[in-house]
Amino acid sequence: MAAPIKLEGSERTQFGKGAARRMRVAGNVPASVYAGGKKPLFLQIPALELRNALRHTNAVYELTFGKEDHLAVVKDVQRNPLKRTIEHVDFYEVKKGEKIEITVPVFITGETKGNGVAFIDIQELRVRADVSELPERFTLSVDGMQAGDRIEAKDVKLPKGAELLDIAPTASVVSVQIPSEEVPETPAAGAAATAPAAGATAPAEGAAAPAAGAGDAAKAPAAGAKASK
């Protein structure tokens, strides 16, 4: 894992919507740092530095403000629903050697053989890992795999000391399948009923087909005929 991402901010002493709005206008984002059993810490971080730092998934941040340094991970990010700008960030303080639970996205790389196509069956995996070994993503190779092959949970390479949560070892994470449009269609139910019965004589070659609607015309009453009582 890469070294913690450093973010330098300043202590926040003003609160409320008006104060938060003024911070954003000045180019800062209000943030909070939570830790188990401790009072939360409140700070403001330059918006540009924060936006660049949050591009990393499952990163550990070294927050510096005043004379204090804190290791933390992102707990929640609030964004403006229209502009998608960052409005507030909650961090959770961690310690070296501590294990935490995170969600890790799954990606694939490589090319399969034949007409098989690789599908990601589980988009994200829950993992418990040391804060110094948090994976940003799992990139699984499907190079050379064929239809019917798959990568199971037990095949995913984890960081040292990490473990998968809430998933069976044999659960399929990635599978190679033939797209449904390439699978030969089976005869529809009842199709056999339309086939000639065993021993039935096929029409002679060149025999004329009945005129369109001829049979129906024979059965229909003549125009103006009275219905029988």
**pLDDT tens figures, 106-151:** 999 999 999 999 999 999 999 999 999 999 999 999 999 999 999 9
User: Are residues 81 and 110 located together in one domain of the fold?
Assistant: no
User: Are residues 11 and 90 located together in one domain of the fold?
Assistant: yes
Residue 169 lies in a domain: yes
Q: What is the CATH number of the domain that holds 160?
A: 2.170.120.20
User: Are residues 53 and 129 located together in one domain of the fold?
Assistant: no
How much is the mean pLDDT over the chain?
Answer: 82
Give residue 7's pLDDT: 93
Model confidence pLDDT, tens digit, residues 6-16: 999 998 888 88
What is the band of 83 on the pLDDT scale with cuts at 50, 70, 90?
Answer: confident
Give residue 187's pLDDT: 52
Instruction: Give the mean pLDDT of 162-167.
Output: 96
Residue 222 lies in a domain: no
Q: What is the rounded distance in angstroms from the CA atom of residue 28 to the CA atom of residue 20?
A: 9
Residue 196 lies in a domain: no
User: Are residues 11 and 88 located together in one domain of the fold?
Assistant: yes
Query: How many structural domains does the chain have?
Result: 2
User: Are residues 18 and 80 located together in one domain of the fold?
Assistant: yes
Q: Which domain holds residue 162?
A: 100-182
Structure tokens, 131: 């804060």
Give residue 186's pLDDT: 54
In sequence order, which residues have a C-beta less than 8 Å from that of residue 130 and are 6 or more positions away?
97, 98, 99, 159, 160, 161, 162
User: Are residues 137 and 89 located together in one domain of the fold?
Assistant: no
Q: What is the CATH number of the domain that holds 28?
A: 2.40.240.10
User: Are residues 53 and 12 located together in one domain of the fold?
Assistant: yes
Which of 94, 125, 146 terminates a domain? The answer is: 94
User: Are residues 89 and 109 located together in one domain of the fold?
Assistant: no
Residue 191 lies in a domain: no
Residue 226 lies in a domain: no
List C-alpha distances in Å: 104 to 5, 59, 74, 142: 18, 11, 14, 19
Residue showing tokens 């049979």: 215
Q: Which of 37-41, 99-103, 176-180 has the highest mean pLDDT?
A: 99-103
Q: Whats the size of the chain, residue-wise?
A: 229
What is the band of 80 on the pLDDT scale with cuts at 50, 70, 90?
Answer: confident
